Amino acid sequence: MAGVIPLGLGGLFVTGYQRRVKAIENKASNQEIIKIARESNGELNAVLIAEQTGISLSNAKARINHLFISGLLRKDNSEVKKGETKYFLKDNISKHSKSTSYLSEEITDATLINLAIKNEGIISPSSVCLKLNVSIDAAKQKLKELRKKEVFITEVNENGALVYRLIDSDLIK
């Protein structure tokens, strides 16, 4: 048993929780929820997600909270009906109701710079893809454009992945 650290009952709870979260994500992925929002003019609530995906209302609320914390949704408390908070897609994602991602021209310089600032000045094409719901190709293209404009430099991280570091380190607080 050398090298084994007993976790006690707490480890069992964490493992069980992680399995439940993964099972919910498999039933209602971020992409599926964003698609539902797009089909509803960017508007979203837990009842709509539960009805469309078949997950429970509490699980739908958890998925919305995850997307809100991830920065993909914004809250609108001004039109609360029956205690249900409305959420809307951020960054005009709803304008693209037929597409599943932004076009490269629609990823603004400011959006990528802000994303880099939130990540201590470092971003990768895959992080841009996930955070902005864009294709890897669109993320790579826009990051290359900003590298040519001397906004980012490229580096290889400890895992061998190509990352982009914000040159203006004064923006990082």
Long-range contacts of 110-118 (CB under 8 A, 24+ apart): 112/142, 112/143, 112/146, 113/146, 113/151, 113/166, 113/171, 116/152, 116/164, 116/165, 116/166, 117/166, 117/171, 117/172, 117/173
Domain-embedded: residue 82: yes
110: containing domain: 101-171
pTM exceeds 0.85:
no
| Predicted pLDDT at 77 | 62
| Predicted pLDDT at 79 | 54
Extract the residue ranges of the chain whose pLDDT is less than 70: 1-18, 20-22, 77-84, 91-105
CATH number at residue 59: 1.10.10.10
User: Is the domain of 65 the same as that of 85?
Assistant: yes
Task: Write the pLDDT tens digit of every residue in 129-160.
Answer: 888 888 888 888 999 999 999 999 999 988 88
Task: Write the pLDDT tens digit of every residue in 111-122.
Answer: 899 899 988 999
Show which of 93, 127, 159 is a domain's final residue. 93
Calculate ∠ Cα 78-83-87, nearest 5°.
50
